[in-house]
Structures are given as structure tokens and as C-alpha cells.
Amino acid sequence: MWDQILTGFGYWDVYAWISFFLIAGGMVFLIRSLGRKDYKQGSDQDEIFFGSNPVPEDGEDLKVPASSAYWGYTQALKPFYDVLVGFHTGIATDYAGWYILVTALVALLILL
């Protein structure tokens, strides 16, 4: 139960990793404990820095929406995504069509 997993090419030892995380976690807490102790909760030290503007009351005005995530990635790969999204038509007959097409293609490969 406690042995390593051998893959035939290397091995995996979960406990080495857990030890690593425990040590790394300990170091994080150590660094945190070196912080200033005179921090005052509820004072201006608590305030969010929002580009020197007043912080909006509703988080809705602050949050980054999911549609903004990986904007650069999707823009860079726009031609690829145009094809990919276009391929997902949502039309039921297309679903059946792709299935028939793959069946025909595999049949050609195996029967000929």
C-alpha cells in the first residue's frame, strides 16, 4: 500500500510529494509570521487600493467576468476557434451526419 508506483519508465511516490507540500506550507507560514505585527484591522490599512478611486460597494462593478478570461489566448487562436465553433452547429441532423461519416470512413479503412 505504501510502495511506489512503477510505470516501467519511472516511478511515482505520493508521500514524497506530500512531504514537499508540507515543507513548502511550513515555509509559507514561516514567512508570514515574519510580517509586521502592528497591523490594525478595520483601519485604512484594510482598504483595497483601487487606482486611487473609491472602491465600488457592489462587487459586480469590480469583478472580472469569465468572458474576459484568456482573452489573449482566444484572440491569438481566433482562426482555429472560428473553425471549431463553426463545426459545432447544434443541428441534430449534423450530429447524425458526423456519426454516419465516421462509420463510413472507418468502414472504408478496415474493409478495403
The residue within the footprint of another protein, chosen from 36, 37, 40, 88 (CB under 8 A), is 88
Per CB under 8 A, 102 contacts another protein? yes
**Candidates 8-16, 25-33, 38-46 — which segment interacts with another protein by CB under 8 A?**
8-16
Determine phi and psi for 108, rounding to 5 degrees.
-60, -45
Which helix (H) or strand (E) segment holds residue 12: the answer is: strand 11-12
Q: Does 95 bind another protein (CB under 8 A)?
A: yes
Burial 1-25 (b: 16+ CB within 10 A, else e): eeeeeeeeeeeeeeeeeeeeeeeee
Which one, 28 or 84, has the nearer CB to another protein?
84
**Minimum separation from the CB atom of position 2 to another protein (A):** 7
**Does residue 50 interact with another protein by CB under 8 A?**
no
C-alpha cell at 47: 482598504
